[in-house]
Structures are given as structure tokens and as C-alpha cells.
Amino acid sequence: MNCEELIRYLSDYIDNNLDEDLRADAEEHLRTCHNCHVVLDTTRKTILMYKGSIKDPIPAPRRVALFDRLLKAVSERQDCPPEEE
Ligand SMILES: [Zn+2]
């Protein structure tokens, strides 16, 4: 799994919606990639903040926009390890 894939699955990862294989892949990547670990941490906190303040889950369009922004931020970084298969 590379950084882009990780970010794509991040929402489902946080919600525990990934199947076992994908979850294992995501965890493997998170162990080796500091950037994605930080993104996960930030995203989780952001989601918890939203949930805590408005009681409802983040509305889908806003969530998509959030992940688009994260994906862009990560893909612009040069210091992530290369994709491993
Ligand atoms: Zn990464």
C-alpha cells in the first residue's frame, strides 16, 4: 500500500469498515510511514472534534473535501518512502 491508497482508505480505517486484509495493509503502512501516521492522528482528532461538537457524523461532502485536501498534501510530499508491493 502506498500513501495515496492509505489516505483513500483512511476514513474506512478510522470507522473500522475495512476488511482484514486491507486493515493489515493499512497498519503495515502506518508502521513504516511517519507522514501517514501523522495524517491518521490529525484526521482522527478532527473527526472526533466534529462528532463532539455537532453530534452528527461529518456530512459526506465535507468529509470528501477533507480527504481530498489530505490526499493532496500527502501526494505533494517528497519524503515518503517509495511504494512497496
Ligand atoms: Zn504514507
Q: What is the pLDDT along the chain (85 residues), one digit of tens a residue?
A: 999 999 899 989 988 999 999 999 999 999 999 999 999 998 888 877 766 665 555 566 677 777 778 777 777 765 555 665 5
**Contact indicator for 3, 67 with CB cutoff of 8 Å:** no
Question: What does the block give as the cell for 79?
Answer: 519524503
Give 54 Cα–ligand 1 centroid separation in angstroms: 30
Which residue reads 482484514 in cell numbers?
20
Integer Cα distance of 49 and 34 in angstroms: 22
Give 25 Cα–ligand 1 centroid separation in angstroms: 11
Give 23 Cα–ligand 1 centroid separation in angstroms: 14
Q: Given this model, what pLDDT does residue 51 score?
A: 66
